[in-house]
Amino acid sequence: MNITDLSSKKGLIIGIANNTSIAYGCARVLHEHGCTEIIATYQNQKAYSHLKEACDQIGLTNLIEFNYTDEESVANLFNYVKEQYGTIDFVIHSMAFADPQSLHGRVVDCSSHGFAQSANISCYSLIACAKQAEKIMPNGGTILTMTYIGADKVINNYGIMGPIKACLETTVAYLANELAQDKIRVFAISPGPIQTRAASGIANFDQLLNNAHLNSPMRRTVTIDEVGNLSAFLISNMSSGMTGQVIYVDGGYFLIG
């Protein structure tokens, strides 16, 4: 028996930018394990071609534009998902944002607008998605989001995203507690640094990669497929007794930090 046979699972993945995205690694691994009913989102028409090129490689064709701005846009997305599938088994939320000044500047200098915008897009959007997902997960399911060790330790050049990710991780714990009665399990996956388009916006990101390579117990960085492997396990029934955790897939770097 294939312990990660996901052929019966249906779900939504938010945050695939191209074929180097963490969310794409998740989509690819899920597809390899039989999950073919996946809806993926793209931010705007400019981003569509990159998403389509990536998804064509694994045969995902159900793509919808979704540019998170408010709860109404989330509701519209999940209405589409309901029209397509009726019910779903998982949501992968891989979405974060900080304007350059908030990301590259000192936390103490972050503006009220910069903080609110980052918190809304990077954290509150998870709450909004969970609220809508609950309505179409009558048999339970899994909600995953992506975090980073900067939530727990001070990481140079990570700016306001450190506090925002800390907020995200606490949100995961509260959502997991509240949704457990509906058999919905919620997790945060914390990958080590991976060279993605989003990561390219972090100043001196090459240094973060090098530090992880030199100092992690495994002496290497991880791949998007390794993040995908973890997501497949968490979505599968093999993790049925788990919820609420922040789970690191970073070669053990969180031990050293």
* Catalytically annotated residues: 148, 158
Contact call for residues 149 and 253 (beta carbons, < 8 A): yes
Mind giving me the DSSP string for 226-238? HHHHHHHHHHSGG
Distance, CA of 188 to CA of 243 (rounded, Å): 10
How far apart CA 203 and CA 188 sit, in angstroms, is 24
Joined together, the tokens standing for residue 199 give 């990561």
What letter does residue 225 receive in the DSSP assignment?
H
Which pair of structure tokens corresponds to residue 50?
């990159």
Q: How many CB atoms lie within 10 A of CB 222?
A: 23
Which has the closest alpha carbon to 155: 208, 225, 108, 109? 208
Q: Transcribe 91-140 into DSSP letters.
A: EEE------HHHHHS-GGG--HHHHHHHHIIIIIHHHHHHHHHHHT-TT-
